[in-house]
Amino acid sequence: MRGAIREWAIHRLGASGEFDVLPLIGSKEFVAWLPTFLEASRVLYPEIAYPTYSVGAILASATGTPVSVDPTTWPDADLAWINSPSNPTGRVHSDDELKAVIHWARANKCVVASDECYLDFGDGIHPVSILSLTSGDNRNILAVHSLSKRSSMAGYRAGFVIGDVDLIARLREVRKHAGMIVPLPIQKAMITALSDDVHVKEQRQRYNSRRQRLAPALQRVGFEIEESRAGLYIWCTRREPDWDSISWLAELGILATPGYFYGAKGDHHIRVALTATDANVDEAVARLTQAASLQIFT
Ligand SMILES: Cc1ncc(COP(=O)(O)O)c(C=O)c1O
């Protein structure tokens, strides 16, 4: 399995130079425990983000600080998380933004963990891995991946991390003593999933087609779509408190997530998931279109 991950890292992510790989029991446990394993006391994460980055800082009794995309504004830290494509916003870092993060990691001797679990789901854009931009010097850099998203294998709990050889050796030592070991049948399923790209392409088309149907329907009822260039979500706002948007959608029988769940800055946005079935997405589009025609959103 490690060979399969290594091959995939070289051919799919463009990794080069010295790097190691480490299987995970899904990527969430790693996000939650990395600050503890690194004995980090200062952890940075995006100001609108997947909540487990903050939970990990709390578990480690570390100070968690939400930060903007621009690393020149970041305070000193032991660990900085980035997440491109982002959950919940679907924002994708440019190559220059990723290079700025690598530069910051080197200048500050700080570990950067790049959560890239949505990398395969660009919509007219090709998100890249931080590992393709390190010029083979992967010190202090970790890229986190998950088959939950790429191969819809969330129930298998299958993820892995790729990067700094010394860091991964340290993490492996602790993790094996903590029983964080991927079972053999899951390892075999991971090898099979990584050897195939066709299902990933099909799934990408499925999500993008749902986005292309849902986005205009949300716009018709007054939502402005922001970012949402990749990943499994639409991030949008009606410039009203998030719970007002959520309640209004709930009246139509449509469930979305309040942006506040991802940080205080998200409190006027909502996250709409593209993980519902095609039939349910079409039904939501029909209800939104009907609401627009009746103008019941004004
Ligand atoms: C940004 C991000 N990272 C990590 C995860 C964890 O996924 P898993 O534990 O299934 O690999 C998720 C799940 O939603 C996520 O959105």
Q: What is the pLDDT of residues 254-268, one digit of tens each?
A: 999 999 999 999 999
What is the Å distance from ligand 1's center to 298 Cα?
36
* Nearest-angstrom CA–CA distance, 18 and 14: 12
* pLDDT exceeds cutoff 70 at 297: no
Ligand 1 centroid – CA 149 distance (Å) = 8
Is it the case that residue 123 has pLDDT exceeding 60? yes
pLDDT of residue 68: 98
In the chain, the domains with their CATH numbers are: 2-196 (3.40.640.10), 199-294 (3.90.1150.10)
Whether 234 shows a pLDDT value over 60: the answer reads: yes
Report the SS3 class of residue 232: coil
Tell me: pLDDT of 296 over 70.
Answer: no
Most ligand 1 atoms within 8 A of CB, residue of 25, 29, 30, 31 to mutate: 31
Q: How far is the CA of 227 from the centre of ligand 1 (A)?
A: 19
Which pLDDT tens digit goes with each residue over 171-190? 999 999 999 999 999 999 99
Residue 101: pLDDT above 60?
yes
Amino acid at 281: V
- pTM beyond 0.75, yes or no: yes
**Ligand 1, atom 6: nearest CA belongs to which residue?**
28
Shortest-distance atom of ligand 1 to CA 147: 11
pLDDT of 285 over the 80 cut: yes
Q: Which ligand 1 atom is nearest residue 118's CA?
A: 1
Residues with CB under 6 A from ligand 1: 26-28, 31, 50, 83, 87, 115, 117, 146, 148, 154, 159
Exposure string of 110-147, with b = 16+ CB inside 10 Å and e = fewer, is: bbbbbbbbbbbbbbeeebbbbbbbbeeebbbbbbbbbb
Residues contacting residue 230 through CB under 8 Å, at least 6 positions apart: 85, 90, 92, 118, 121, 122, 123, 125, 127
Distance 275 CA to ligand 1 centre (A): 14
Assign 295 a pLDDT band (cuts: 50, 70, 90). Answer: confident
Looking at residue 224, what is its pLDDT?
98
Flag whether pLDDT at 208 surpasses 70: yes
For residue 286, what are the contacts with CB-CB under 8 A and spacing of at least 6?
none
Which residue's alpha carbon is nearest to atom 16 within ligand 1?
Answer: 87
Cα–ligand 1 centroid distance for 199 (angstroms): 19
- Is residue 160 exposed (0-12), middle (13-18) or buried (19+ Cβ within 10 Å)? buried
Distance 48 CA to ligand 1 centre (A): 15
Structure confidence by residue, pLDDT tens digits, 129-163: 999 999 999 999 999 999 999 999 999 999 999 99
Predicted confidence at residue 298, as pLDDT, reads: 55
Would you place residue 166 in the very low, low, confident or very high pLDDT band (cuts 50, 70, 90)? Answer: very high
Relative to beta strand 63-67, strand 79-83 is unpaired
67 Cβ contact list (under 8 Å, min separation 6)? 44, 45, 46, 47, 73, 74, 75, 80
Mean pLDDT computed over every residue of the chain: 97
